[in-house]
């Protein structure tokens, strides 16, 4: 009995979801009681941990995508093209879905027009920058080029070398990235709790962000339903493994930082093939931004109504959504990346001034983690579609 209880406790402590939730709760509890000295230490710890996590991201992309493409057949370029099309279609579709919600809901709700002053953070005690070897977009393009090159020349030596590199990266994910995530999340939530972001912005959070979160859930349901119908398989076999990934994305606000856990979730599914998901999960984490599209579309409509007294013109908003899907292809991997990539569109296309940009940044930052979670959980549905498409192409070639 004692042995079984000890075993259950040990299993609970090693559970990824439990560790992530513990980090969130601890951060929220200790945040309001932090002194300047402790804040400086936490700021430094958060910065260094974030630097380590982001340093690993290009290596994860390179290790998994190159090895996966090299194992595909000579016609794999069609798989990549199919992946690009469905990712862009999902992103633009999510934006249009959000726009329809905005036009039907926003005129009927009272959106708060001001925010409370947040507590200031002290200067960082110690700053250690660990820049990645290359940025996310460079690693993505490099991985695609190397993978296709190895595939086309059928270099078994390079394929084997990148297989070993992938094994090294996987060890780094399991032994470095995943153990660091709960601490990184605890630091994030402690700072948010100290600043009073969650408490002071509660009215905005309830009235506006709640609608967006529901929209995220609905869109995830739509994606998995479409994927299940296309694959003729139960999509729950994929979705049920994404709990740790969703929580990781909530805490890190970064698809890239959640990449290691997302790969673990995909590998647990019985209907996703590792040779396909090892390519699609890193690939989609950098080009699929359905959650960010829902969030940003709804929020620019909200800010337009609050500050300028009207919603954007339908034609203008559709053009904004279509262009945002192109402009932000490499953005979802970093916190707030989609919004940063779209600042030019917000000012030039929607006509926002400094006040509009500031308000959009404030509201977007409050829920960025939920949009990120929608992005990366949606990747599982797209991976199921790519797996089915890959199988159909393989059977078609065998038949010919």
pLDDT, one tens digit for every residue, the chain (400 residues): 555 666 667 766 666 667 777 877 888 888 888 888 888 888 888 888 878 877 887 887 788 778 777 776 655 678 888 988 999 999 999 999 999 999 998 888 765 444 455 677 787 777 888 888 887 667 778 888 888 888 888 888 888 898 898 888 878 877 887 788 788 878 877 887 787 655 554 565 567 888 999 999 999 999 999 999 999 999 999 999 998 889 888 877 777 678 888 988 999 999 998 888 888 888 888 788 899 899 999 989 988 887 787 889 999 999 999 888 876 555 544 455 566 556 667 877 888 875 577 667 666 766 777 888 899 999 999 999 999 998 888 788 777 7
Entry field: residues in the chain: 400
| CA–CA dist 64, 290 (Å, integer) | 23
pTM for this entry: 0.68
Given a contact cutoff of 8 angstroms between Cβ atoms, the answer to whether 51 and 128 are in contact is yes
- Burial class for 278, CB neighbours closer than 10 Å (0-12, 13-18, 19+): buried
Contact (CB, 8 A) for 302 and 356: no
259 vs 177: CA distance, rounded Å: 10
At 113 the pLDDT is 47
Q: How far is CA 294 from the centre of its chain?
A: 13
Residue 145 to residues 67, 72, 80, 265, Cα–Cα distance (Å): 12, 14, 12, 27
Per-residue pLDDT at 4: 65
Tell me how many degrees the CA angle 312-89-206 measures, rounded to the nearest 5.
50
Q: In the prediction, which pLDDT does 94 show? A: 95
What pLDDT is stored for residue 93 in this prediction?
A: 95
Tokens encoding 194: 């100290």
For residue range 168-195, list pLDDT tens digits in order: 887 887 788 778 878 887 887 788 778 7
Predicted local confidence at residue 127, as pLDDT? 82
Helices (H) and strands (E) in the chain, counts: 19, 0
- CA 382 → CA 226, 227, 288, 352, distances in Å? 9, 7, 9, 34
CATH of the domain at 256: 1.10.3860
Predicted local distance difference test score (pLDDT) of residue 380: 93
Cβ atoms 251, 131 nearer than 8 A? no
Q: What is the CA radius of gyration of the chain?
A: 22
* CA-to-CA dists, residue 292 to 176, 287, 345, angstroms: 28, 11, 15
- Cβ neighbors of 27 (< 8 A, separation 6 or more) are 185, 186, 187, 188, 189, 190, 191, 192, 193
Residue that has been written with the tokens 């909200």 in this structure: 302
> Residue 26 is encoded by which pair of tokens?
């601890």
Domain containing 275 equals 1-399
Number of folded domains that form the chain: 1
């Amino acid at each position: 009995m004692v042995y079984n209880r000890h075993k259950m406790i040990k299993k609970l402590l090693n559970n990824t979801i439990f560790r992530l939730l513990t980090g969130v709760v601890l951060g929220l509890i200790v945040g309001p009681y932090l002194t300047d000295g402790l804040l400086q230490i936490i700021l430094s710890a958060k910065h260094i941990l974030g630097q380590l996590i982001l340093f690993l991201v290009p290596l994860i992309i390179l290790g998994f995508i190159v090895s996966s493409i090299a194992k595909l057949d000579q016609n794999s370029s069609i798989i990549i093209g199919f992946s690009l099309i469905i990712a862009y279609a999902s992103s633009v579709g999510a934006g249009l879905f959000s726009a329809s919600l905005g036009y039907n809901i926003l005129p009927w709700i009272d959106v708060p027009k001001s925010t409370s002053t947040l507590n200031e953070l002290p200067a960082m005690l110690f700053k250690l920058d660990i820049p990645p070897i290359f940025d996310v977009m460079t690693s993505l393009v490099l991985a695609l080029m190397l993978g296709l090159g190895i595939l086309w020349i059928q270099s078994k030596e390079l394929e084997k070398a990148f297989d070993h590199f992938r094994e090294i990266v996987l060890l780094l994910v399991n032994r470095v990235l995943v153990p660091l995530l709960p601490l990184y999340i605890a630091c994030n939530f402690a700072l948010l709790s100290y600043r009073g972001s969650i408490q002071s912005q509660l009215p905005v959070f309830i009235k506006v962000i709640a609608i967006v979160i529901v929209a995220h859930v609905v869109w995830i349901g739509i994606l998995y339903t479409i994927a299940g119908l296309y694959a003729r398989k139960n999509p729950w076999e994929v979705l049920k493994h994404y709990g740790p990934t969703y929580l990781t994305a909530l805490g890190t606000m970064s698809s890239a930082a959640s990449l290691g856990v997302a790969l673990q979730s995909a590998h647990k599914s019985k209907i996703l093939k590792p040779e396909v998901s090892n390519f699609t999960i890193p690939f989609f984490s950098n080009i699929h931004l359905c959650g960010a599209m829902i969030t940003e579309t709804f929020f620019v409509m909200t800010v337009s109504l609050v500050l300028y007294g009207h919603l954007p013109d339908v034609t203008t908003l559709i053009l904004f959504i279509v262009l945002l899907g192109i402009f932000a292809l490499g953005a979802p991997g970093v916190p707030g990346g989609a919004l940063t990539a779209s600042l030019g569109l917000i000012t030039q296309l929607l006509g926002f001034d400094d006040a509009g940009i500031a308000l959009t940044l404030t509201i977007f930052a409050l829920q960025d983690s939920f949009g990120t979670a929608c992005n990366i959980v949606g990747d599982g549905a797209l991976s199921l579609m790519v797996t089915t498409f890959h199988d159909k192409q393989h059977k078609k070639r065998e038949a010919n």
